[in-house]
Structures are given as C-alpha cells and as structure tokens.
Amino acid sequence: MKNGIRRRDFFKTIAAGGAATVAVAGCADRPEKLIPLLVPPDNIEYIPGMPVDYATTCQECPASCGVVIRTREGRALKAEGNPDHPISQGTLCLRGQASVQSLYNPARLTSAMRREGEKWVAADWDAVEAEVAKKIKGQSNKKAIVLMTSNRNGTRQKMVNQWLSALGAAPKVVLESLANHNIREANKIAFGKSELPVYNIESATYLVNFGADFLETFQSPVRNNREFANYHAVNEKKAAKNKFVNIAPHVSLTGANADQWVKIAPGTEAVVALALAGEVMRRSGRGDGNLKGFLSGYTLEKAAEASGAKVEALAQVAKEISKASSALVMAGGTLVASETGTAAQVAVNILNHVAGAVGKTIRFGTGQQLDISTPTSEVLALVDRMKKGQVKVLIVDGVNPLYHLPKSADVEAALAKVETIITLSTQWDETSRKAHYALPGLHTFEKWGDANPQSGVESMIQPVMAPLFPVKSSEDTLMSLGARMGLAGFGQGQTFKNYLMNAWKGKAGGGSFDAFWRAALQKGGVFAKVSGGGAALSGGATKMNFQPSKLNGTGLVLLPTPSLRQRDGGQTFNPWTQEIPDPVSHVVWDSWADINPKTAEKMGIHHAQQIRVKSPFGEVVTTAYLHYGIHEDAISIPLGQGHFGSGSKAADGHGVNVLDLLPAATDKTSGEFAYLTTRVEVSVTGEPSFLVQTDGNPRQDDRGIIQMMSLEQFAKGEPPELPHELESPHYASDFYRNVPRPAGYHEPYRWGMVVDVDRCTGCSACVAACYAENNLPVVGKERMFLGREMAWIRVERFIEGEGEDYTTLMQPTMCQQCGNAGCEPVCPVYATYHNPDGLNAQVYNRCVGTRYCSNNCIYKQRRYNWFEYEFESPLHLQLNPDVSKRSRGVMEKCTFCVHRIARARFDANDEGRDMRDGEVTPACAQTCPTQAITFGNLADPGSKVSRMSMRDGEGTPTGKRVRQYEMLESMKNLPAVTYLRKVTIKNNEKEA
C-alpha cells in the first residue's frame, strides 16, 4: 500500500478508539499485536459483520444534506441520505454519494509536511505546528495574515472568526466559485432584504427559470430535485401537470427537464424578465402605478427583438404566469452571472413581485446560509495585495484559489509573493502544492463539526471512523495553533469538539445537555420548521441599468456552466464523478464545448472535432459537441475540469479549465464573479480528438426504449400507439400467464421495480450509489471508449424531435430481472440462473466468461471484467464487504442489491415473518432524490410496486395500464422493471 497506511494499523486504530467517541487518535502509539475485533472494546456496540450507521452531514457543497454513513469494521463504506434530515430527507445526489471517495482520496495529504525547495518532506506534526505558530506569531503586521477558507457554514466559522480576531488578523476570506451574491444584492435592492430566499418549488403551480441549474448545483440540489419532482410529476388523480419553462441561452440538465425552452440571447435575461413582468402586470393588474410606468418601457416586442425569442412564446409565458395561482420565477447560476448580473436578478425580483410569488413561493427570513462567501471582487483585491507583497502569511483551509480563480488573475504570481503559506487542506491540490507548510486536515467524515444551511436546520457532523492518517482536523489545528500562540480563548488541550459542544449548549433548552447531545448525534442534528415570509418591493428596484453588459472580445459568447458531477471542480478528485457520464452530453473524463449545429455548420465544425477556443485572456483546446440546446451565438464549456497539480489521477490532465478563458471580472454591484463576460473565437485545430461518449446513439429510432405520452392522452387514459413490432405486450397474452410454475417459484417474493420516467430528472445519483454499493471499478477514459465501463445502472438519454424542437428523454436502466431471461438459458455452467425470488442471479465464482449471456441480453445490462481492476490505495478501503469483488474474466450485473435483500430476509426470518413492503431498498432507489424508483415484491398484490406497475400474472391487475410500460415488452422477456411514461405538456404557442 503506497500511502503509508497499513491495514493492520488501520484496524488497530479503530479498535483502540471506537468510532463514536474518537477525537484525535491517529497519532497514538501503535500496539504491536493484531487483535481481531471479535471482542470489541466496551465503549462501542459492535457485532462483527454488522454495519453501524452514523448520522453526519455531507460537506461536498454548502447545501449540507444530512447523511447516514454506513460503516463496517470501523471504516466508512457508503453515504446515504438521512431520512430525518429536512434538506435531504433520506436521499442524496451524485456528489454526495461520491463523498466517500474524497475520504479515501489517493491524493490525500497523509502527514505534516514541510516544503524544502520544490520537495515536500514529511515531518513531525508538533515540530511543524510549532514552526507555523512561531511564523504566525512572529508576524509583526497582523493584518498581513490572511486565512482563506471554504464556503461551509456552521460553528467552525464562528471559531475561525474568533481565532482571527484574537490574533488581530484580517477577517477571513471565504472562497466560493458558485456564489449567490447577485441574488442577495438584488434582494437588498428590490426587497430591502440582504439575504437568500428559499425557493419553494413544491408549492408553486408554474415555474419559470432563467438559467439557474437548480437540479445540478444551484443552492440545494437534493432539495430542489425532490421539490421539482413533486412539482412537475403528473398528478394522477387530477390528470394535471405543472409546466416548467426554461428561459436560457443554454440547456443543461435542468433545462432538459423543462416542458418548454425559450431560447434567448446570452445576457438578455433582464429585459425578458421585465417585459414578462410588464405583460403579467397588464394581464393580472398586480403592481402599482410607478412600476407600471417603468415597465411600460419594456414590451414583449422589444424583449423579443433583444433576446431573439419569439414574441408568441413570451406572450404565452406571460399569460400562463398571470393565470397561475402560485407562480415562481427562479434565476441564478453562471448563465446570468454577467457584470450586470445583479440587475438581471432585480428584474427577476420584479417579475416575481408582479407574479405574486414573493411570500408564497419565495420566502425570506429563513436564514439561508448557502453562501457565506466573500465577494470575488474582494478576493481579487486580496490577490492584488498579495502581488504587492502585502500579505505575509496565508493560511489556506480547504480551498484552491489557484484553480478556482481565472488564470488572468495570476494567483500563481500572487502566491509566490507570500512569505509563508500554510495549507490545512485534506488533499493535494494546485494551491497546496504552492504552500510551505502542510498541516493537513481531516475529511468531514473523520471530524467534529456542524452545519447550519438555514434556520431550523442544525446539522451535526461527527466522526464516523478513526482518521485514516495521523493528521488533525483543520479546526483542531487552528485551535492548537491558537493555544501555542497563547491567543485569548484558546487554551491548551482544547479541541474543537469541546468548542462545538459549548456552542451547542445554548440550543439544549432546559433538559440535560448530555441527552440532548446524544439525541442530536443520533438524529443527525436538531431540526425545526421555519416557514419564512414575504417582502415588499422597494422603489430602488427600477433604478438599475437593465441592459446587457458589454462583452470582451469577438466571436461566440462563452457560457461556462457548472458541472452536475464536479460542481466547480472541487469534486473532480473523486473518480466516480469522472466515470459517470454527464446525463445530457454523456461525455466522460473530459471537457467539451456545446455548439449549436447551425453555427457549427457555418464554421465548418463537426461533432467531436478538436477545436481551439480563444479569448482575449487565454485559449484552450477542447472538443466540439454539437447540441441544439444552445443559442446560435454561444458556446458552452463546463467547469470542473483541467486540474493540473492535484496529484490525483482522476483529476489531473483531463479536459480544460474554462476559467483560463475568462478575465478576473466581477459584477459591479455585488462583487460576484462574472462568468458571462467574454466572446471567444473558435477554430478547428485539425488534430485528432478523443471525446468519449457513452451513448451508442442519441436517438432511439422508434424503439420505445423510453416512452412518453401527452397529458391529453393521459387524461383520456389512452396509451400512445406504438410501432407495430412493439405491440403484443405480454400481459395481453395468455400463453405466459398459463405456464405452470414449479412449486415455491416466486413464492412469496418476486422482486420488481417501478421507475417513474416522469419523475426522473437524470441526476445520476443512482449510478453513483450503485458504484458505491457494489464495488464497481473505475476503468478510465480509454477503456470507456471501448464501452468497458462497469456501471450496473445507467441513465440512458435519447433525443426526440427535430432540430431545436426536441425533447430529452432520460431513464435509468438496470438489469430488468426478466422472468423469461435471455441470459439464463445460454450460460453453459449455470453461472446465471433464475433464483426463487425471480432475480437473474449471477454466481461470480462459477462464471467462466463466455459472454454469451451478455450477447443474449436484449437490454445489454451485463458487464464483463476485461481486466483485473485495481482500487488505488486507499480507495480499496471503501469496498463493501457484503459484495464480492469480481475477478478478471467474470460477468457481473445488477441483482437489485441482493445482499440487502439477504440481510432483510435474515432479519425477517429471525422474527418469523415475511419481509415487509419497503423493508428492502436497493442503493439506486434509496438515493434517488426524486424518488423515481420504487422497489418491492410483485408477488404481493398489496405492495406499492404491484399497485404502481398494474402487472398481470405477477401480482393482481388493478386497472388499465396507462403510463405503465416495460422496455421491449414485445420480446416477451417479462422484465421485472415497469416504467411509467413521461407525460409531456403540449406547447400551445398559438393560443396566446
């Protein structure tokens, strides 16, 4: 094992400490003998082979979803949503699922280190800490000491503030690439409330979105996904569906879920929003005279002219907003973050005001802490100070300014001027390589803390395992440094845990703190409901300059977009985020540039051709991706790639960093980083490109793989007509129903699944969950090019419709556990067989690897081990002991998490009963933020899956199948997975 941690030591450490009560045990003297954990220490309740769950909080983004970490033998295996937590409500996104990979990141900093020249030398912790304390203390000008930290809320920020003020240093600098200053500033201007509101998507009846990627990274994606699915899913009883209109120059995953896309030119959000506001006002009569006068200057015609959108389309949206009982307009993300981004947000606020959303679907006073970052303008000013040599000591705590600030800001030169840089980061990254001292921090799952994403959500962070490496949490390091320097309030031997408990003492109320603390740890925090309220529009709102800001350079408008998988690039170190395809483009391990095919044709660019993108500030070489979901005058490159100095194989050398093209510009009003500032020249390099896409074909060629129906058809109860060869569904045939089954077969269980395509947003959390649960190896770009990814579940994506008038269909597909499978009869050695529960079980040890089963699988859901796959140390510690790791030459596949079924069966057998409905949940269904996947027993007519699937022959028919379909059902493979059709809303542009 390369990284210096030995399995023995690891277990010994665990045994010595015990996960629940461990503080900082990593540096302890190591015992000499290996003591198996058959007799565990007294202070932890531990049964060998049984998982222990700990509630904590995910810190991959500021949303701070509550998670439950499953541990086995003292190591964290998998993150799942905490059902008690109000933000995540038991579900988790892709990045949250991948958080265990950042815990076991092979590029983690493993000990205190000191840089000597260009070489990093491991050193004794205390020695480095003493040296660092001396350096900080010796700094005469305390204002020349700067601490940069990450955008994570909670008590730690209070401690950091206290530390800095005790030292007399400058206030902390909080870095965040995807900040929300524009929104906060616009709320201050429009409503007099300098805060972030909570968007109550669930309670809306009409949703308009100006480019906010709320299903990907915007604010709280898990909550947004859940609320959006509840908002957008068809109401089966009323046969109604809420419409979602996306007004943006680019279609990301969020846009792909929209019922209507109004394509506008980049930067014209403000004029469009104001024109809509004017029209809504005219129709609804809301708003006062002043506003009316102001808005009369913004007509739909003018907006249409400026944005390139159709007047009819805008008129229709305005009409629908004014008719809606509870409309909501969202705006945000990088697409509206121009130099006049605040103005755009103010315009949207005005629209929300006239639409009556404020106080209903947009609520203030909920104490949103999703963005506590320092405005980028101030960060850039700091960089300037650094360049001038005015910063002597820089403490970098879990942030990476060298990567996250554009090259044009020249952070590298600034860092070179700083005398002493101390990194407290958990892993190597571009910035920590430039530091002089490393006092590495612990991962969230190894330390104490809390998060407070909004009022009423006091989320607990507790260590779920002993630290992997002999390092301290950054909080403890700071406190220890404080003690060494004799700062006021930082006594010797104090830990952040004590600090945290003291901070929480005030929350305990009357009862015993110990009981309160234990309850909070168990539950994952303390939660209360905060509903928030409205705000009145102030007159200042109309005083902004709403015209699009001027862009630098010539050519196409560059639209940097956040990545669903890597957010801003902070998650790129986790290999799953690279391996799981982007659900819209299906590109892996790379950057790409979305270009409209019409533009591409004019410029002579083909799909997957290598292009050079050049702005006045820099250039990158990437690959063209022809996509109708982008404005003709724009080009979009996702954030998050192009790491170069992290030492992580997953991140370094893949793709390009789009920030290299951008100037260090900010919004004039709020100081937020301006992403929409630049035009770029695009040219073909002529070099061969290597773009890897996992989709075999973007169109499904009328094969009914993913099906949809219109709302009218749904209301009438008429399933859409299928092509001839897809007809003759099995439930219409007597043959299979009358085939006698052997006794005990499918009794009492026939496991099945229902996937609601209408709820699925394509967020790919299920894929990440499957990787985590089932020990799926990461194969890398070259092997993915050959189709050798090992994903047992994939989100298939097909494009329906021609040109810009297209619909994106997405659906998770996994092994369909056919009742009449193709794989089973063809295996010569019974490695795959039909088990009594109806699963197409796979016995890895029996497989000789003929691959016939895969050839004969009509869904192609089987994966083959082409090589012996390695899990780079220490990532191998994440492997789930419940699932065997497959060797080379063996076929593997989804079995509905059969080990979970087995565990539930044991429990049920112990209690002498059958498994209950909902007792078993496969990893994919468990994590699904929109709860699109339902799992259960088809043999039980009362189970949820039976009721939802309305299947014949398995359970009891419960009515006419309207939305239900099985993939390729005409093949009569009797799949156990029923899909529910996506319901589309007809776009009645002409009615307006």
Q: Which stretch binds other proteins (CB under 8 A): 38-46, 304-312, 489-497, 601-609?
A: 601-609
Distance of CA 279 to the CA centre of its chain: 36
What phi and psi values does residue 13 have, to the nearest 5 degrees? -60, -45
Query: Which residues sit opposite 808 in a β-bridge?
Result: 799
Contact between 701 and other proteins by CB under 8 A: the answer reads: yes
Distances (CA, A) of 374 to 379, 662, 817: 7, 19, 51
Q: Which C-beta is closer to other proteins: that of 122 or that of 705?
A: 705
% helix, strand, coil for the chain, step of 5:
30, 20, 50
Contact between 797 and other proteins by CB under 8 A: the answer reads: yes
Q: Which C-beta is closer to other proteins: that of 210 or that of 864?
A: 864
Nearest distance from C-beta of residue 779 to other proteins, angstroms: 9
Nearest distance from C-beta of residue 833 to other proteins, angstroms: 8
Report 530-559 residues binding other proteins (CB under 8 A). none
Contact between 602 and other proteins by CB under 8 A: the answer reads: no
CB proximity list for 209: less than 8 A, separation 6 or greater: 244, 245, 246, 247, 248, 254, 255, 258, 329, 330, 331
Contact between 889 and other proteins by CB under 8 A: the answer reads: yes
Q: Identify the residue among 866, 904, 908, 919 touching other proteins (CB under 8 A).
A: 866
Contact between 631 and other proteins by CB under 8 A: the answer reads: no
Contact between 250 and other proteins by CB under 8 A: the answer reads: no
Q: Identify the residue among 288, 419, 514, 725 touching other proteins (CB under 8 A).
A: 725
Nearest distance from C-beta of residue 857 to other proteins, angstroms: 8
User: Residues 84, 372, 659, CA angle at the centre, nearest 5°?
Assistant: 110
Q: Which C-beta is closer to other proteins: that of 54 or that of 628?
A: 628
Q: Which C-beta is closer to other proteins: that of 48 or that of 825?
A: 825
Distances (CA, A) of 467 to 76, 196, 444, 473, 820: 11, 35, 10, 9, 49
Q: CA 794, CA 678: separation in Å to the nearest integer?
A: 36
Query: Which residues sit opposite 56 in a β-bridge?
Result: 67
Other CB atoms within 10 Å distance of the CB of residue 175: 23
Q: Identify the residue among 143, 158, 860, 960 touching other proteins (CB under 8 A).
A: 860
Contact between 960 and other proteins by CB under 8 A: the answer reads: no
Q: 15, 39 in Cβ contact below 8 A?
A: no
Q: Which C-beta is closer to other proteins: that of 518 or that of 606?
A: 606
Contact between 788 and other proteins by CB under 8 A: the answer reads: yes
Closest CA to 362 of 477, 203, 517: 203
**What does the DSSP 8-state code read for residue 462?**
-
Q: Which C-beta is closer to other proteins: that of 608 or that of 621?
A: 608
User: What DSSP string describes 771-801?
Assistant: HHHTTPPP--HHHHHTT----SSEEEEEEES
Contact between 850 and other proteins by CB under 8 A: the answer reads: yes
What phi and psi values does residue 937 have, to the nearest 5 degrees? -100, 115
CB proximity list for 154: less than 8 A, separation 6 or greater: 64, 449, 450, 451, 452, 459, 461
Contact between 739 and other proteins by CB under 8 A: the answer reads: no
CB proximity list for 991: less than 8 A, separation 6 or greater: 316
Nearest distance from C-beta of residue 827 to other proteins, angstroms: 6
* Helices assigned H by DSSP within 376-512: 376-387, 401-404, 411-417, 430-433, 474-485, 496-505
* Helices assigned H by DSSP within 168-243: 181-191, 221-232
Q: Which C-beta is closer to other proteins: that of 888 or that of 986?
A: 888
Q: Binding pattern to other proteins, positions 658-697, x when CB under 8 A?
A: -------------------------------------xxx
Q: Identify the residue among 705, 708, 908, 992 touching other proteins (CB under 8 A).
A: 705
Q: Which C-beta is closer to other proteins: that of 247 or that of 847?
A: 847
CB proximity list for 91: less than 8 A, separation 6 or greater: 81, 222, 225, 226, 765, 926, 927, 928, 929, 931
Nearest distance from C-beta of residue 291 to other proteins, angstroms: 43
Closest CA to 547 of 308, 376, 338: 338
Q: Binding pattern to other proteins, positions 809-848, x when CB under 8 A?
A: ----x--------x--xxxxxx---------------xxx
What is the H or E stretch that residue 261 is in?
strand 260-263
Contact between 781 and other proteins by CB under 8 A: the answer reads: no
Nearest distance from C-beta of residue 761 to other proteins, angstroms: 18
Nearest distance from C-beta of residue 953 to other proteins, angstroms: 20
What phi and psi values does residue 198 have, to the nearest 5 degrees? -100, 130
Q: Which stretch binds other proteins (CB under 8 A): 348-356, 467-475, 633-641, 851-859?
A: 851-859
Q: Identify the residue among 184, 627, 643, 981 touching other proteins (CB under 8 A).
A: 627
Closest CA to 201 of 393, 387, 362, 12: 362
Read off the tokens for 855. Answer: 């050839």
Q: Identify the residue among 336, 466, 630, 890 touching other proteins (CB under 8 A).
A: 890
Report 603-622 residues binding other proteins (CB under 8 A). 606-608
Q: Which stretch binds other proteins (CB under 8 A): 79-87, 165-173, 850-858, 980-988?
A: 850-858
CA neighbours within 13 Å on the CB side: how many for 371?
Answer: 25
Nearest distance from C-beta of residue 694 to other proteins, angstroms: 8
Query: Please, is 41 exposed, middle or buried when counting C-beta atoms within 10 Å of its C-beta (0-12, 13-18, 19+)?
Result: middle
Nearest distance from C-beta of residue 169 to other proteins, angstroms: 53
Contact between 735 and other proteins by CB under 8 A: the answer reads: no
Q: Which stretch binds other proteins (CB under 8 A): 44-52, 334-342, 348-356, 701-709?
A: 701-709
Peptide bond just before 401 cis, omega within 30 deg: no
Read off the tokens for 236. Answer: 């089966």
CB proximity list for 183: less than 8 A, separation 6 or greater: 196, 197, 331, 332, 345
Q: Which stretch binds other proteins (CB under 8 A): 13-21, 280-288, 493-501, 861-869?
A: 861-869
Parallel, antiparallel, or unpaired: how do β-strands 52-57 and 66-72 relate? antiparallel
Does residue 99 sit in helix, strand or coil?
A: helix
Q: Which stretch binds other proteins (CB under 8 A): 115-123, 175-183, 853-861, 896-904?
A: 853-861
Q: Identify the residue among 7, 888, 916, 960 touching other proteins (CB under 8 A).
A: 888
Q: Which C-beta is closer to other proteins: that of 388 or that of 598?
A: 598
Hunting for tokens 């350079």 — which residue is that? Answer: 553
Q: Which stretch binds other proteins (CB under 8 A): 47-55, 170-178, 399-407, 788-796?
A: 788-796
Contact between 885 and other proteins by CB under 8 A: the answer reads: no
Q: Identify the residue among 3, 230, 700, 807 touching other proteins (CB under 8 A).
A: 700
Q: Which C-beta is closer to other proteins: that of 212 or that of 778?
A: 778
- The residue count for binding other proteins (CB under 8 A) is 69
Parallel, antiparallel, or unpaired: how do β-strands 977-980 and 751-756 relate? parallel
Q: Which stretch binds other proteins (CB under 8 A): 102-110, 417-425, 478-486, 723-731?
A: 723-731
Q: Identify the residue among 675, 798, 965, 979 touching other proteins (CB under 8 A).
A: 798
Contact between 851 and other proteins by CB under 8 A: the answer reads: yes
Q: Which C-beta is closer to other proteins: that of 424 or that of 706?
A: 706
Residues near other proteins, by CB under 8 A: 597, 600, 606-608, 625-628, 695-703, 705, 723-726, 783, 786-789, 794, 796-799, 813, 822, 825-830, 846-852, 854-856, 858-860, 863-868, 887-891, 967-968, 971, 973
